[in-house]
Amino acid sequence: MALGQTRKRFRLPVLSRLTIAWGAAAALLVLTGGYFVSSAISGHGANRIALPVENIESLAPRVNIAAAEEERLSPAQEGVRLGAPRLRDNESDGEYEIAAIEAGEGEDFLEYPDEYDFSDEMRDEPLSPDDVVITIAGAKPPTIASLNSSPLAAPIPDPPSAMLQKTPLGDVPRIAADGRKAMHVYAHKFSAKKDEPKIAIVVGGLGLNTALTERAIDDLPPEVSLAFAPYAKNLDFWTRKARQAGHEILIELPMEGYGGNQQALGGAALLSSRTEKENLQRLDWLLSRFGGYFGATNYLGAKFTTNEDAMAPILAKLRDAGVAYIDDTGAARMAGDKTGVSMTTVNRVIPPAADETARDKVKRELLALEKIAARDGVALGKTYAYETSIDEISKWARELKSKGIAPAPASAVLQLRGGAG
C-alpha cells in the first residue's frame, strides 16, 4: 500500500509527459536531418545528382553582320579566330605535333596557342567540391547524356568504338568493319507517307551561344537537323544533349569564301591556297571535335567549293569516313560527282534573322520551301541560330502537318534524292 502511494506521488503530470514526448520527437527529427545532410555531402545514402552551374560561353565574339550577309550565312561564327588552332604540317616526318611556336620562326607543324584551353571541354568527369549537389531519395544518378532527353523522338546513339578511328588529333569517324556508316547510324529515324511533301531544315552556328544553343535543342522539333561550330566550347555536352533530344547533328567545316576575311574562319579553315595535305590535316582536326554526326556542312565556302582540286580530297575523305555532306553553295556538285560522296544541295538559305525586322524574310523563305516541296516532293533549307529564326521555324514546323507537309530531317532528304549511299 505504501509502495503504491509512493508511485502515485512521483508520477509526472500529463502535460509534463507530453512535453517530454514532443521534445524527444523533435530531437529525433534533428538527428535524422543531420544524417541525410551528412550523407549528401559524403556521397553515402541517397544518390547524388550533379547540376553544373557554370556558364558555358563561346570562344568567339560577335562581329560584323553585314560582312556575313555577303556570304549569305550567319555571322555567328565570324569571331572564331579567338582560340582557333594554328595548324601546320611537319614536313620532316609526316607526324602531327602540338608545340608552342614563337611567331616568326616559320616552323611547319601543328600548334595550339596558349589561349585555347582544352581542359574547358565538358566530359563525364567525377564530381568536384564546387559542384552543386541535390539529393533525391531513391533517384538514380544521371549521366550528362541522360539530361533533358526528349520523350518524343528516339535518341541518336553514341558513337561505338568500331566506328571511330584514332588520330594524333583525336577520334574521327570511320566505316565499321560490318559496313555501318555515320550517315545511317546517326540519322534521325524518319517515316512519312510516300506522296506527302517533305521539308528539312538545318540550323547552324550552334555551340557558340549558350542560350541560343539550348533553345534550338529544346524548342525546335526533333526533325530539325542541328549543325555545330567546330570552335565552340563544350561540344561533347551540347552535341550529346542534341542527340538525346532526337536531333541528328552535323559538323560545320569553315571554308574560304569570297569575302576576303580569311582570319574570321579560324586556323582550321580549308583554303584553296593551302596544299591538299594541309587541308586534310585541318579536316582531321575538325572531324575530331565531337562525335555522332551523320554529316558535314560548309560554313561560307563559296570560293573553296568552286575549286575542284581543293574540294575533291575533302569530299573523298568524308566518303571514306562514311559521312554525308550538305552543300549550300551549289558549287560542290562537280567535285561530289567526281568522288562519289553522299551529298545533297540546299534549296534555300534562310537569311540571318538578327532582329525583329527580319521575321518577314524568314517567313518568305519558309513559304518558298513549301512551294519547292509541293513541286519536287522534297525541299531542304538552311539557316543559323538567332532568337527570331528559332521562333519562326519552331512555329512553322509545328504547323506543317496541318498543311499536309511532313517535317523531315536532312538525312531523309538526302536519301530521298538518292544521295545516301
**pLDDT tens by residue, 232-276:** 999 999 999 999 999 999 999 999 999 877 788 999 999 999 999
pLDDT tens, residue by residue, 350-377 = 987 777 778 899 999 999 999 999 999 9
The residue-averaged pLDDT of 224-231 equals 97
pLDDT(174) > 80 = yes
Instruction: Look at residue 264 in the predicted model and tell me its pLDDT.
Output: 81
Cα–Cα distance list, 252 to 206, 268, 329 (Å): 9, 11, 14
Beta bridge partners of 133: 50
How high is the pLDDT of residue 351? 87
What residues contact 279, with CB distance under 8 A and at least 6 apart?
270, 271, 310, 313, 314
The confidence score (pLDDT) of residue 29 equals 62
* pTM for the full predicted model: 0.68
Q: Which long-range contacts (CB under 8 A, 24 or more apart) does 59-63 make?
A: 59/83, 59/84, 59/116, 59/208, 59/231, 59/232, 59/233, 60/208, 60/229, 60/231, 60/232, 63/264
Which range, of 135-149, 215-229, 383-397, averages the lowest pLDDT? 135-149
Q: How far is CA 43 from the centre of its chain?
A: 31
Amino acid at 311: M
Rounded Cα distance, 385 and 12, in Å: 75
- Report how far residue 207's alpha carbon sits from residue 120's, in angstroms, rounded to the nearest whole number: 14
Classify domain 65-125+143-416 at the CATH topology level.
TIM Barrel (3.20.20)
Positive or negative, the Cα torsion across 145, 327, 301, 368?
negative
User: Rounded to whole angstroms, what are the CA distances from 187 to 150, 249, 294, 394?
Assistant: 16, 8, 6, 20
pLDDT confidence band for 390 (50 / 70 / 90):
very high
Q: Specify the pLDDT at position 33.
A: 53
Q: What is the pLDDT of residue 259?
A: 81
The label of the residue with cell 523533435 reads 26
Supply the angle between the helices 387-399 and 210-219 in degrees, to the nearest 10.
0
- The rounded distance, in Å, linking the Cα atoms of 340 and 335 is 9
List, in sequence order, every residue forming a beta bridge with 203; answer none if it has no partner. Answer: 226, 383
Question: Which range has the top average pLDDT, 62-76, 132-146, 198-212, 349-363?
Answer: 198-212
Angle at the Cα of 80 from the Cα atoms of 98 and 128, rounded to 5 degrees: 65
* Pairing mode, strands 48-51 and 132-135: antiparallel
* Low-confidence winner among 19-28, 160-169, 225-234 (lowest mean pLDDT): 19-28
Share of the chain above pLDDT 70, in %: 63
* Dist. CA 246–CA 224, nearest whole Å: 9
pLDDT tens, position by position, 94-126: 222 222 222 222 222 233 333 333 233 333 333
Residue 165 grid coordinates = 578511328
- Return the C-alpha cell found at 76: 555567328
pLDDT of residue 73: 37
Quick check: 315 pLDDT over 70? Answer: yes
Helix and strand counts by DSSP (H, E) for the chain? 12, 13
What phi, psi does 227 have (nearest 5°)? -115, 135
CA dihedral 346, 352, 358, 359 (to 10 degrees): 60
